[in-house]
Copies of this chain bind each other. A is one copy, B any other.
């Protein structure tokens, strides 16, 4: 496929006008302002369009689409214990698959081509992801409230199974990460055993970190240190880590994240909606900590449109930290693209240059809200809509184009997601 006459967003988030971009298999093999000599087959006319790197959702719980709008205006503990956990408890394998596929459809539509997910039933997740053609780093969130050893927990076998059967499936489309759900949902012994398990395996780690004030303060009361220090001391950060939320980081926490090259996966809409607080993004940027963007689950967002996160990220902390200077449009764009890919260990993604993977998104920039265009990155961050995406591509494969899903039967996906939801609700009512 050859895209021609297309403006591209360069690595500094400036625009190069009227380019040719050639894609051979999974790889971008030509970027230039003159036509390539090679024949690419399909030619895509990019007039009035912008080609940008595909977006990365750095923290999600995809199958929670089934809980979209299910529980509102509840305090976090009530939300979890009265609504979310009982619902999740009734979710079967098919439901995980159906919810995940609905999430994939939504993400693809809004330009997300890769996501970092933590949930359960990894095989169903892998199947949904491989069917949808989107990329994913998936981890089963480890929780353990008793004194068992890691090898006695079901997650141990599941991780072995996933690593053997799905890790790096389809040339890295699906990757298996390890995960410790959070400081408050397991004990130090099991965390250490997880670190031991991961050692030498070249795997990524995905955790929740200081999402709520309660969680952060209780950790300090329990362990005499912050969650960041707790995980640091237990060796978690010796694995390349995505730390979701990071709302209540304080003091040396920032130095720890910087030292260990941890990616803070900021989830602005979820943090605002659940009243969790305001991640200190200006400080993360000042300390040169890598920040990525996540939607969190659909139950606390309630959609998976990363363009909304880019905007909230780019405006909410201005008010919260009385600082309109620090967070610039390029920070939002980097957080939603290259920083997410790096956190996933996907170093050949996130830039439109020859040799990189063709994980790309095309936007229609002729929309009224994208006019005039004084500076494209400003319009992308503050004005663009997820629905401006007219083409999403992962590994050179078109997943969505002009209203059509090419890997997903969207009618069927919606039907099955609704059926799953109804059946879970029935099971809840009958206490099945």
Contacts and interface: CB of A to CB of B under 8 A. Distances in A.
Interface of A: 65-70, 72-76, 102, 105-106, 109, 269, 271-278, 298, 301-305, 308, 311-312, 314-316, 318-320, 322-325, 327-329, 366, 368-369, 371-375, 378-379, 382-383, 385-387, 410, 413-414, 417-418, 421-422
A318 to B, nearest CB: 4
Contacts of A106: 368-369
B66 A382 contact: no
Nearest to A327: B73
A382 B69 contact: yes
B69 A276 contact: no
Nearest to A273: B315
A418 B372 contact: yes
A69 B303 contact: no
B414 A68 contact: no
Contacts of A274: 318-319, 324
Contacts of A319: 271-278, 320
B414 A75 contact: no
B382 A303 contact: yes
Contact of A379 (B69, B314, B372, B410): B69
- Among all A-B residue pairs, the 5 with the closest Cβ atoms: A69-B378, A387-B387, A302-B382, A273-B315, A275-B318
Contacts of A375: 69-70, 72
14 contacts: A65-B371, A68-B371, A68-B379, A69-B382, A70-B374, A72-B382, A73-B324, A272-B318, A274-B318, A275-B318, A301-B383, A308-B308, A371-B414, A372-B422
